[in-house]
Amino acid sequence: MKVIVCNNSEEMSKVAAQIFADRIRKKPNIVLGLATGGTPVKMYKELIRMHKEEGLDFSKVVSFNLDEYLGISGNHHQSYRYFMDTNLFNHININKSNTHVLNGKAKDAAAECKTYEDAIKKAGGIDIQLLGIGGNGHIAFNEPGSPKDSRTRIVDLTKKTIEDNARFFVDVNEVPKQALSMGNGTIMEAKEIVLIADKTSKADALSKSIEGPVTEQVPASLLQAHKNTTFVIDTDAAVKLKKKYESPKATASKGGCCCK
Ligand code: GLP
């Protein structure tokens, strides 16, 4: 597991975008795993800039999103489908039919989850998965205690997650109490994983995930057992880490990635 500590949120976004752009250039028909939330917005803006100014080509790219709220449709402004369309897909040349987001309004939600797992397998698995992290250490909507081998399924959201995500809704009571989410097991099968985090509100979850024991109580700590995971975080999110980690410049000088 690699940890890159960036100077700020802007640099975090650029470093993560450069990793994704590099993988897309190397494999134009790559299968991306994508995430929502406030954290990836600037990274998606950078990918849009690369598309417009540098010709980064998404025409053959396939994507699968991590999760979706249960009970709301893709047209709902707080749905993750709407988020992806407005923050990324509408601004790049990706074929919308190659973009997959779980259907929160599916009549049979359990069947929707099974179909999603099958579609990921049929696509050859996820080449590179983007993750954010919840303040309680969750990844996607795998709340503390989610089994490490869990698959895409219906999940109950914790009070903390509902409160954390209330900022996107008019009222906390509007936040759905359940979601459809890839499981920890689904995520761990991605060939490469990049977790991004900024803000001091993530510092506690990151210190437990990176330097604490591997435990289902902190789902992001499970990533310690993944062969190709990079945490790209900023100095605010890194305040509780005890060990020293690389800066983007140090990584670049070794031929890794990234910041110009
Ligand atoms: C939600 C999403 C997660 C995301 C988390 C953090 O719970 N399901 O995938 O990582 O929010 O969001 P933010 O980036 O807004 O802090």
15-73 residue pLDDT tens: 999 999 999 999 999 999 999 999 999 999 999 999 999 999 999 999 999 999 999 99
- The residue whose CA has the least distance to atom 3 of ligand 1 is 140
- Model pLDDT, residue 260: 43
Q: Ligand 1 pocket check: which of 41, 133, 160 to mutate, most ligand atoms within 8 Å of Cβ?
A: 133
Q: Is the pTM of this model over 0.85?
A: yes
The torsion region of residue 226 among left (phi > 0), alpha (psi -120 to 50) and beta comes to beta
CB 83 within 8 A of CB 68: no
Cα pseudo-dihedral 223, 225, 230, 231, rounded to 10: 40
- Model pLDDT, residue 249: 77
> 239 falls in which pLDDT band (50, 70, 90)?
very high
Q: Is residue 37 lining ligand 1, measured as CB closer than 6 Å?
A: yes
Q: Is residue 186 lining ligand 1, measured as CB closer than 6 Å?
A: no
Indicate if 143 belongs to the active site.
yes
> 119 falls in which pLDDT band (50, 70, 90)?
very high
Average pLDDT over residues 177-197: 98
Q: Is residue 161 lining ligand 1, measured as CB closer than 6 Å?
A: yes
> Could you give the residue ranges of the DSSP H alpha helices within the chain?
9-26, 41-54, 80-87, 109-122, 159-165, 184-188, 203-211, 248-253
Report the CATH number of the 9-187 domain: 3.40.50.1360
Helix-strand-coil split of the chain, %, nearest 5: 40, 15, 45
